[in-house]
Structure 1
Amino acid sequence: MRDALWAALKTVNDPELHRDLVSLGMIERAEVGGGVAQVKVNLTTPACPLKGQIEGDVRSAVLAVPGIKEVVVTFGAMVRTGGQPALPGVKHVLLVGSGKGGVGKSSVAVNIAASLARDGARVGLLDADVYGPSVAHMLGRSAERVTANAERKMQPLEAHGIRFLSMANLSPAGQALVWRGPMLHSAIQQFLKDAAWGDLDYLIVDLPPGTGDVQLSLTQTIQVTGAVIVTTPQDVALIDAARAIDMFRKASVPVLGVVENMSYFVAPDTGLTYDLFGRGGSQKLGGLPLLGEVPLDMEVRKDSDAGEPAVLAHPDSAAAQALTGVARALAGRVSVQALADLPDQLPVV
């Protein structure tokens, strides 16, 4: 019966990777006794957006095996990388960028990181907006200072299950940094290579707006898995978002998708929906995958000012659910990206 159980599992495909769970090495354990099958599936990310579908497909396939009356499905997760890690211990570096400021890029980056961490991933967050750092404030840790460990490497701070570094925790509050390009390059190098990030599934990088020195330093320094573009729906934002996309493509960084932020507003008193900045404008960006439409929500702003990401403070709100969907869709895109460099047949764990 064990052979029949494994044969049944081989008919179940991962909905995003379009290969069966057995050849992908996602079945950690499959045993049967007394008519009860025990199956453990290792997902390609803790934030798998299609976990429920996979569980249902496994149950249907296994219950079709003669003699099996019950199926117990459990899950683990193992984030894979198609090649060498971007940094020691860091599997994927994901850039969150925008063509212009004011589109909510940092808020999206913080909530992506918080959502992935809540789902069980090991997550780091680098605030690469050196001139206008905001991540520390949004995580409620702006008063803390970065220290060095015994190896004289910067020790990232921690908040909400996220390891993070920000210039706000290295320089006096309110002090302007008047730096030229080489100094920016040196700072980014230190954030990446002189910090004790430890083992991470994802390092989210909140970029400054535009297409300047920081973006070039990052793309030329390490292997980046991909980038996310944050924009609002109106044309003035989309024009600049298109420039950011062009920059990433010239730097050979895959653009994994677009987040349309402030996509619409639902009036709390009437429930009516207003497209304040238009809606659906991200469809003009060359057919890139839409990771999600995030509504304009006052709670997101309040939560950011209070130092707690909206996905944690108000997880049932429309904005938080949209941001959670963005994070999970991004994790799925990363898994698909990694598969391109994996062998056709992976060993069974």
Structure 2
Amino acid sequence: MTDTNEQLAKALNAVIDPQSGKGLIDSGRSSAPKFADGAATVILDVTGIPEVRRELIEVDIKRALGAIEGVDDVRIGMTSTRKGRRLIAVGSGKGGVGKSTLSANLAIALARRGMNVGIIDADIYGPSLPRLLDAEDSKPTANEDRQMIPVRTQYGVSMLSMGQLVKPGQAIAWRGPMAANAMGQMIDADWGETDTFVLDLPPGTGDVQLTMVQKYKPTGAVIVSTPQDLALIDARRAIHFFEEADVPIIGLVENMAGYKCPECGAVSDPFGTGGAEAAAKEMGYDFLGRIPLDIGIRTSSDEGLPPAATGGPGADAFNGVAGKLADWLDPPKG
């Protein structure tokens, strides 16, 4: 019996927790299996693990434990503790800095780390996430309480965007309060077990941002800027806005940093380099990383093929930023 128990514990710990990358026992997801009358029983904490991943883990556990001699049945009980909602605002002081592209890739990279991630396109007047996530033909439905039910993208991220609710190319001529109300309806949608949200904000500090910090105070904010001085001036305004609202600044990301010529391989810096990193250091905030100026990022994004999902251009840079964000959300233990 002792040998069987040891084998069962070893086999269970060989199954990897998708969030921590450790074995299910080492990560605290489960204690050692119980074994009696040919049945191995596992109680597994699946908090924060998406439904699809849970099913895969269940298959892996049954396969691993069922292969041990004397085990006729593997029983798995799953428990879950509802986490509070974590809202990560991705903001900038001006448009055109690649904020939506960063938001889409961060959401995907976090989901691939095992988080239940949703993304909200709060750029009401210029929604671009449906194109970036190849979901232009997907429309949200509503539940019996008339809450919107988000669209599940092929990349494991649920999303809501005004771009899914209006005709392609249709102008949205709304006053600020109407746009802020639309954002609120998306945040208050029926997100199920989704607990980590990336909020792609419009540029500036208008009604949408004001409503967000007053009614849906973010857990933290990521500020995006290109390296040149004008963009950094606007980024500082966005930082000041979040500081005044007592929203923690997670860090700064420098986008369009460095261009590698596809013909000769020479690297140039048409927008400068290092500005966001220097600004972060000056203001006492973390620098989360830089994303290169790469035509491959632009073309793959236009095709709805985010690099964080496909391993395309810039994938390592996006994943690096996401790793620092993940550590900020769930600091490593020990």
Same fold (TM over 0.5): yes
* Paired amino acid for 2:176: G
Give the aligned partner of residue 309 of structure 2: 312
Give a deviation string over 1:244-286, Cα, whole Å, max 9, x none.
0000010111010111111111222222221221111012241
Deviation of the 1:39 alpha carbon: 5.6
> Which of 295, 300, 303 is residue 300 of structure 2 equivalent to?
303
Cα contact 2:306–2:312 (8 A) shared by 1: no
Identity of aligned residues (%): 43
Give the aligned partner of residue 55 of structure 2: none
Please say if 1:292 is aligned against 2:286.
no
Give the aligned partner of residue 143 of structure 1: 137
Cα contact 1:228–1:255 (8 A) shared by 2: yes
* Paired amino acid for 2:117: V
Give the aligned partner of residue 103 of structure 2: 109
Query: How far apart, CA to CA, are the structure 2 residues paired with 1:316 and 1:77?
Result: 31
Cα 1:38/1:130, change in 2 over 3 Å: closer
Cα 1:33/1:134, change in 2 over 3 Å: closer
SS of residue matched to 1:257: strand
Please say if 1:218 is aligned against 2:212.
yes
Cα contact 1:115–1:324 (8 A) shared by 2: yes
Cα contact 2:250–2:328 (8 A) shared by 1: yes
Give the aligned partner of residue 275 of structure 1: 269
Cα 1:168/1:89, change in 2 over 3 Å: farther
Cα 1:172/1:37, change in 2 over 3 Å: closer
* Paired amino acid for 1:307: G
Please say if 1:253 is aligned against 2:247.
yes
SS of residue matched to 2:257: strand
Segments of 5+ residues of structure 1 without an aligned counterpart are 1-30, 59-75, 81-87, 340-349
Please say if 1:333 is aligned against 2:328.
yes
- 1:1-349 correspondence to structure 2 within 5 Å: 46=19, 91-159=85-153, 160-193=155-188, 195-282=189-276, 283-285=278-280, 286-313=283-310, 315=311, 317=313, 319-336=314-331
Deviation of the 1:33 alpha carbon: 7.6
* Greater alpha carbon shift after TM alignment, 141-150 vs 291-300: 141-150
TM-score (norm 1): 0.71
Flag the structure with more relative contact order, 1 or 2, with Cα contacts below 8 A and sequence separation at least 6: 1
Query: How far apart, CA to CA, are the structure 2 residues paired with 1:168 and 1:111?
Result: 18
Query: How far apart, CA to CA, are the structure 2 residues paired with 1:37 and 1:190?
Result: 46
* Paired amino acid for 1:164: M
* Paired amino acid for 2:254: E
Give the aligned partner of residue 61 of structure 1: none
Cα 1:90/1:129, change in 2 over 3 Å: farther
Count of residues paired in the alignment: 274
Query: How far apart, CA to CA, are the structure 2 residues paired with 1:42 and 1:251?
Result: 40
Give a deviation string over 1:200-233, Cα, whole Å, max 9, x none.
2311000001111111111111231100001011
Cα contact 1:157–1:163 (8 A) shared by 2: yes
Deviation of the 1:316 alpha carbon: 5.5
Cα contact 1:90–1:199 (8 A) shared by 2: no
* Greater alpha carbon shift after TM alignment, 177-186 vs 235-244: 177-186
* Paired amino acid for 2:180: H
* Paired amino acid for 1:299: G
Give a deviation string over 1:288-345, Cα, whole Å, max 9, x none.
11111111111111111111211122x164x111001111111111224x99xxxxxx
Cα contact 1:32–1:38 (8 A) shared by 2: no
SS of residue matched to 1:268: coil
Query: How far apart, CA to CA, are the structure 1 residues paired with 2:262 and 2:175?
Result: 46
Cα 1:187/1:37, change in 2 over 3 Å: closer
* Paired amino acid for 1:212: G
Cα 1:107/1:231, change in 2 over 3 Å: same
Normalized per residue, which structure has more strand? 1
Query: How far apart, CA to CA, are the structure 2 residues paired with 1:77 and 1:258?
Result: 32
Cα 1:78/1:291, change in 2 over 3 Å: farther
SS of residue matched to 1:217: helix
Query: How far apart, CA to CA, are the structure 1 residues paired with 2:145 and 2:6?
Result: 49
* Paired amino acid for 2:135: R
* Paired amino acid for 2:159: F
Cα 1:175/1:322, change in 2 over 3 Å: same
Give a deviation string over 1:65-90, Cα, whole Å, max 9, x none.
xxxxxxxxxxx98569xxxxxxx865
Give the aligned partner of residue 61 of structure 2: none
SS of residue matched to 1:200: coil
